[in-house]
Amino acid sequence: EVQLVESGGGLVQPGGSLRLSCAASGFIFSSYWMSWVRQAPGKGLEWVAHIKQDGSEKYYVDSVKGRFTISRDNAKNSLYLQMHSLRAEDTAVYYCARGRTTFEYWGQGTLVTVSS
């Protein structure tokens, strides 16, 4: 059974940093692109970033470029999102999803709240 479990969310002050993790199981992690998608409270879905199987290609939505870094550790079946210079508008539930543009599997999400 495919499982994606996010962790690392929490309350952080504006300008702060946070690292999200996504533990994958039930499939060959190293064979898939992986993505992060977020959803602000009461709002729609927003793609954040995705990373190629070997980590050689990474793409980001413009609003997070230069502040967020997506990475992966295939030996640990894990996906990460390092977030710096966090802003109030980054407040959202962050989902880990399998795939580059088609997301058949999603995690349950982890809430990131940016507030003083």
Q: Is 32 in the site for other proteins (CB under 8 A)?
A: no
Q: Is 66 in the site for other proteins (CB under 8 A)?
A: no
Q: Is 111 in the site for other proteins (CB under 8 A)?
A: no
Cα separation, 109 vs 116, in Å, equals 22
Listed residue (111, 1, 19) closest to 71, CA to CA = 19
Exactly one of 91, 95, 112, 114 binds other proteins (CB under 8 A); which one? 95
For residue 68, report the phi and psi dihedrals to the nearest 5 degrees: -110, 145
Shortest approach of other proteins to residue 51 CB, angstroms? 13
In a 13 Å sphere around the CA of 86, the CA atoms on its Cβ side amount to 23
Number of residues forming the site for other proteins (CB under 8 A) = 20
In a 13 Å sphere around the CA of 22, the CA atoms on its Cβ side amount to 30
- Answer whether 8's CB lies under 8 Å from 21's CB: yes
Q: Is 61 in the site for other proteins (CB under 8 A)?
A: yes
Interaction residues for other proteins, span 40-59 (CB under 8 A): 44-47, 50, 59
Exactly one of 1, 31, 62, 66 binds other proteins (CB under 8 A); which one? 62
Residue 69, beta-bridge partner list: 82
Contact residues for other proteins (CB under 8 A)? 35, 37, 44-47, 50, 59-62, 95, 101-104, 106-109
